[in-house]
Structure 1
């Protein structure tokens, strides 16, 4: 039998309800090898690891095609328990610790050591007593292995985030027979010194013969610690390479490189942009949005341009618009068209001329049970008193004016519907997004912020939304800030693209800059270069 590899995944394919997310992926990892699994958001990394770890989301949606071998033996992994029995452990990006328990209890949970009691001998093994000393001894050994000098009886609640990450690792290496550990973005929440220590821990585990799958977007860490890597793109295998035979630039190009699909037809651009005419300036801007924190960011937007904000998930790009609009606590200054925005005053940005189309159109942007008309005019009516008769002591709804405006919006934006009274919840995703944009435009803003404007809509609707944004910018001179996870979209429409990494602007690029430049910036390689010439 082939025992060269501790893990072989052969021709792995997976679809979710007709959407092919993995296409014939092969991956091989030897004992003691540190192997990086790399790719953009949506490349298929998480799905592949979910298959390896037997996660229910895979088996509840039809399973997968292909085969898995552990130490050369074909295996069926249909649950996380089965994966653990085979010697596979996973250190999750989201911590799986119980804060009310102490460190020993978290490390030994599910594998408690017990001693018989008088009652357990008579009635049931479940009445055995926990052997706290034996469990603490095991926990201490695991903590010492990774060099974590902390009391094993300390409560998890209140510990620094970095400690929690190492406790997760200690829990996995305490398991008997661990052959392979999956690290899912383990350094994302760590300080620089903690990240260095974690890489040292990975080297130590590797020296003991434990294979490691290292999922990360940080190319510098990959170059430091890994032996080899598999690069995925759009659910397909791009390449398997030895780390010593490649470079950061080549990795970035493999992760990003693909033909840029044209979402915007070529059209004459008669705009004249003045790079010194700044409409919005963010200075030392921080936003406390869970999972999307912004950290002392500086960014300027020119009047009349379309500025894109891109970056990997969790790096802070979504925090920027939500912070500007006051939806999450922020610090720093926001200068807008000669005034200062006060984000602590909810609605201040709206009143001063900034409209926002949220990434969460169904949860935040729309009143799903209400009509198209109500959705389009509601914010303008609340903030600007539009579509109201002012009778002094009372205000009445100006139905005629509202209906005229909404019909005009339906025509201008080509919202496919039965009429203004149709419930928004009955529209397609693309038409719901157009209603969100119509609502924002009804405010007649100086700046339109659109966050993930094409999320969840088909390619045809995407093209219509992108063309609409370009038309608003080209023909009406509307300044647009567009936040998107789809680099292709940003490169189709934006004048400049700011790539955000770890809550800061890593780099500001032009749409036609190289795939390597974009890949390096998205991977956190910060370079103070603003390509605005």
Structure 2
């Protein structure tokens, strides 16, 4: 890492209707450093990076690169200056292949008829394969993006940013949210390699353990304002959290372990060809049961089969002791079961609908028994859950996509609480959510368990699984390979089972 300042942001401000997203923010980034940008959702991190990458225009302030003031009015401007970004939300075209996505707007060309330049497909696919191989991504460049999994799409986003030939600054917005430990290790090796080349990395993450491993310097934003810049190695995690949220969070999980009640859900020998095999477990009222495993272990597939969203080949599902056979999601709702899916934006919400419309979406007959929509009733119901779940929003009439990740998750939860769900499946409940919002989600889950609800929690965040769960099941290649109580949960043992090195049950 050099002492030379490569990038300076001075007095950056940005206003949206009714919201001051950034207020006089400063940031200095040295050449070849990993500069972590930290803050709760809504703190202004993504807005600042969208200004730097040309998605938004700043209202005021100055940007300097290599000591010269620059104007960034478009994504193309940023790319021409050597600024690349890996977006938290995928910015990919589903019906184009990997190579077409990576080189979109920067396609290699060759002379064509009448002196025109035409796409040089051979060069594009060759360059793409070289790039993928150089960064350890084992994918065919001709694969359509729609056929990729979430983690694979994330790797394509990373490759897309690294394809810039004049790269000076690389912005990474929650790059590890969907990656396995092996993929994260590979990404960190890449970061170190590019850092050694003098490329500066601006790294946005809520994962404190990652920040300690990969970061050099941390800048903290809160409510759109600059709070401070501190060295990673000399600053305790507790102090970073205090800077982020303006208060200390003493016990993040604060789990109360209750005596479990009656059995709410039992799964016997559930199998689906190519996805999972002979999965058996039970969850009682008042329990939070965690499911841990690597991406592709089959956890989400099991959850979707239980909820009726995916088919399964054999096995039994019992809800409150009664067998349900090849049921649908609507029948699951009748059985008082709710699923908070891994991809909350696309599967848990209708993201362009109003908050209040999403809250009542699964309870239309209950809220409007006469079949006539009533805006006043809809608003009253939504306001009740905004208050109950402490949803940070200007009101019930906002578009749901405008909310932070933590508040979107609360809207999904409100939807299922309105149906009186007694069995709740949380799939990656805090992915992409900041520490302050995580603490609120954990408190809600604890209170739901205390109220007698049965909770199945799928998470790739191992401290979260250990901190919240009464019991933990570990999955590997579609099978449950281990079970731990909260008393004997051991991080090293759990990981060993998750990577196939433990003894099966």
* TM-score, length-scaled by structure 1: 0.58
In the other structure, the counterpart of 2:25 is: 25
Residue of 248, 260, 270 corresponding to 1:276: 260
Distance 1:81 1:431, change over 3 A: same
SS at match of 1:258: coil
Aligned to 1:46: 46
1:151-166 aligned at under 5 Å gives the runs 154-157=142-145, 158=147, 164-166=153-155
- Residue 197 (structure 2) pairs with residue 208 (structure 1): yes
Larger Rg: 1
Deviation at 1:503, TM superposition (A): 7.7
Q: CA deviation at 1:278?
A: 4.3
Deviation for aligned residue 1:186: 1.8
Q: 2:339 and 2:154 mapped to 1: Cα distance? A: 36
Task: Please tell me whether residue 425 in structure 1 is matched to residue 375 in structure 2.
Answer: yes
Residue number in structure 2 paired with 1:87: 82
- 1:245 matched to 2:245? The reply is no
What CA distance in whole angstroms lies between the structure 2 residues aligned with 1:154 and 1:321?
31
Aligned match of 1:12: 12
RMSD: 5.3
- Give the distance between the partners of 1:482 and 1:43, measured in 2 at CA: 29
2:181 equivalent to 1:197? no
Deviations 1:111-144 (A, max 9, x none): 2333334612xxxxxx234445554565465445
Does the 8 Å contact 1:284/1:297 carry over to 2? yes
Say if 1:9 and 1:436 are closer, same or farther in 2 by CA, change over 3 A: closer
Give the CA deviation at 1:148.
Answer: 4.5
Q: Distance in 2 between matches of 1:73 and 1:226?
A: 26
Aligned to 2:63: 68
Q: Note the C-alpha offset of 1:48.
A: 1.8
Matched, 1:502 2:486: no
Distance change in 2, residues 1:491/1:52 (3 Å): same
2:207 is aligned to 218
Q: TM-score, normalization: structure 2?
A: 0.61
Query: Quick check: 1:344 aligned with 2:327?
Result: yes
Q: Is the 8 A contact 2:337 2:421 kept in 1?
A: no
Per-residue deviation at 1:211?
0.7
Q: Quick one: distance in 1 between partners of 2:390 and 2:289?
A: 12
- Per-residue CA deviations over 1:366-421 (Å, capped at 9, x if unaligned) read 599xxx9x75353xxxxxxxxxxxxxxxxxxxxxxxxxxxxxxxxxxxxxxxxx99
Q: Hey, what's the Cα distance between the residues in 1 that align with 2:134 and 2:237?
A: 31
1:467-486 alignment, distance < 5 Å: 486=437
Name the CA distance, whole Å, in 1 between partners of 2:384 and 2:307: 20
Unaligned runs of 5+ in 2: 250-256, 273-278, 291-299, 341-347, 351-355, 397-406, 431-436, 450-454, 470-483, 488-505
1:376 aligns with 2:371: no
Change (3 A) 1:491 1:482: farther
Residue 61 of structure 2 corresponds to residue 78 of structure 1:
no
Deviations 1:421-473 (A, max 9, x none): 99523567454455999xxxxxxxxxxxx9x68464649xx9xx9xxx9xx9x
Unaligned stretches of 5+ in structure 1?
121-126, 261-272, 289-295, 310-317, 379-419, 438-449, 511-526
Provide the rounded CA distance (Å) in 2 between the counterparts of 1:375 and 1:67.
54
| 1:91-240 matched pairs, under 5 angstroms | 91-98=86-93, 103-117=98-112, 119-120=114-115, 127-132=116-121, 134-135=123-124, 138-139=127-128, 142-143=131-132, 145-148=134-137, 154-157=142-145, 158=147, 164-240=153-229
Cα distance change on mapping 1:104 and 1:183 into 2, 3 Å: same
State the distance in 2 between where 1:135 and 1:227 align. 36
1:75 Cα deviation (Å)? 2.4
d(CA) in 2 for partners of 1:435, 1:257: 25
Aligned-residue offset at 1:364: 6.8
Tell me, what secondary structure is at the counterpart of 1:6?
Answer: strand
Change (3 A) 1:349 1:175: closer
- The 10-residue stretch of structure 1 (110-119 or 133-142) with the greater mean CA deviation from structure 2: 133-142
Q: Is the 8 A contact 1:22 1:235 kept in 2?
A: yes
Structure 1 residues 24 and 334, CA, compared in 2 at 3 Å: closer, same or farther? farther
User: Quick one: structure 1 residues 326 and 77, their matched pair in 2 at CA, closer, same or farther if it must change by over 3 Å?
Assistant: same
Compared CA separation, residues 259 and 340, structure 1 to 2 (3 A): farther
- Contact 2:34-2:215 at 8 Å conserved across structures: yes
Say which SS state the counterpart of residue 72 (structure 2) adopts.
coil
Deviation readout 1:456-499 (Å, 9 max, x if unpaired): 4649xx9xx9xxx9xx9xxxx99897989854487489647898
Question: Could you tell me whether the CA contact under 8 Å between 1:297 and 1:503 is conserved in 2?
Answer: no
Within 2, Cα distance between the matches of 1:40 and 1:233?
7
Kept in 1, the 8 Å contact 2:303–2:425? The answer is no
Q: Secondary structure at the match of 1:206?
A: helix
- What is the CA–CA distance in structure 2 between the aligned matches of 1:73 and 1:246, rounded to whole Å? 32
Call closer, same or farther: CA 1:182–1:282 in 2, change over 3 Å.
Answer: farther
SS at match of 2:14: strand
